[in-house]
Amino acid sequence: MAPVSYTAAPNLASQQKLKVAVVGGGVIGVCSALALQQEFPTAEVTIFSEKWSPQTTGDVSAGFIYPYAVGEQTPPCLLKRTLADTVQFYERLIRNPESGKFGLSLLTMYDLSKEATMAVPSLPELYDVRPMEGAEVAKMFPGYRSGVVATTYIAEPTLLLPFLMGKFEGAGGRLVTRKITALGQLTGDHDLVVNCSGLGARYLADVQDLSVEAVRGQVVRVRAPWIRHAVMAGPSYILPNRDCVILGGTKELANYNLSPDPATAELILRDCAQVVPSLLAAEKIGDFVGLRPYRPSLRIEADARNRKVIHNYGHGGSGVTLCWGSALEVVKLAKKALGGKGMKSKL
């Protein structure tokens, strides 16, 4: 496999053995661990998680790179910066000749509305974001009156996460299957602890962030290889992956039920088929549920009480969309927290 560059700029190396713990084995935790490993290449970086892919929240998602269900109070500058850095990460990663094997591809997306006009989102980080002409919408999607078309990435978590975990382990990183109930279990033995626990931040004894809520997402996976573009139409979305098409979906705040609801599945199939009728002929694979870790504002910051702790959670439905940019924010905070400890001089 050709080498992959995760960051654009050269990194500072470590001269002293640092011990770093990352809590959470989802895409946010794995990317944070990788970025820290690159910045401190001789550090001992360990990810602690109760569950790994394919049992993470991200594994239920399609990995569509588009801001979705991010807290409305997230500072716009932080959202734009983390999105831009993550898109640049995928731009570099897709140059790997084997990028198709780890679920990365470019994709055209149509975002539709039944209203006469639709606001064009300010997303210069993506490609070819433009309004659709009324006649264009009517020809392609009868029943809709306006829309936006954009080109972005699909980064399938069920393939991407194992690839990134392999890179992490290959560079000496450790994966430990363990349920962490308090960050204090790790702060005594580590120079730095990064909290990427997602929804678990509610339950960590020394965090107990009750502003983090589950946003339940139910999807249906079908076999429909003729679907080669993404469509979003109100609550409905149609997102092709390599071996299936993911149909959604729901966005239910404070619903923690992980069992698929048959009636909801039927509604998803019906609504998506109204947008793309050929989906009626698709073979159903199954129903899946994930709990997105929603927070009014994305939390990427140093802990106010414990200088050893950095928080990185609350990404809602945008974990794969903001993962690498968030990891780079963690690196910045880590360099401040460590105060130059174990870092090689730039001179």
At 110-131, the pLDDT tens digits run 999 999 999 999 999 999 999 9
Q: Scan for tokens 């588009």, then name that residue.
A: 66
pTM to 2 decimal places:
0.92
Mean pLDDT across the chain: 93
Secondary structure (3-state) at 242:
coil
Counting Cα atoms < 13 Å in the Cβ hemisphere of 216 gives 14
CA 254: distance to chain centroid? 20
Q: Would you tell me how many other CB atoms lie within 10 Å of the CB of residue 288?
A: 19
At 267-306, the pLDDT tens digits run 999 999 999 999 999 999 999 999 999 999 999 999 999 9
Closest CA to 250 of 208, 285, 291: 291
Domain boundaries, the chain: 19-338
Whether 233 has a pLDDT exceeding 70, the answer reads yes
At 51-84, the pLDDT tens digits run 998 889 888 999 999 999 999 999 999 999 999 9
The pLDDT confidence band at residue 341, using thresholds 50, 70 and 90, is low
> Average pLDDT, stretch 224-240?
97
Closest CA to 97 of 193, 3, 215: 3
> Average pLDDT, stretch 41-59?
93
CA gap 278, 240 in Å, rounded = 14
Paired residues of 104 in beta bridges: 155
**Could you tell me whether strands 44-49 and 174-177 are parallel, antiparallel, or unpaired per DSSP bridges?**
parallel
**8 Å CB contact between 157 and 59:** yes
DSSP of 202-235 = GT-TTT--TT-EEEEEEEEEEE-TT--SEEEETT
pLDDT of residue 16: 55
Q: Phi-psi bin for 163: left (phi > 0), alpha (psi -120 to 50), beta? A: alpha
> Average pLDDT, stretch 235-256?
96
Whether 210 has a pLDDT exceeding 60, the answer reads yes
CA gap 135, 138 in Å, rounded = 5
Domain 19-338 class, CATH top level: alpha beta
pLDDT of residue 340: 61
Please report, rounded to a whole number, the percentage of residues in the chain having pLDDT higher than 70. 93
Whether 347 has a pLDDT exceeding 70, the answer reads no
Paired residues of 150 in beta bridges: 109
CA distances from 282 to 5, 87, 219, 231, 258 (A): 38, 31, 15, 16, 25
> Average pLDDT, stretch 233-241?
96
> Average pLDDT, stretch 147-159?
96
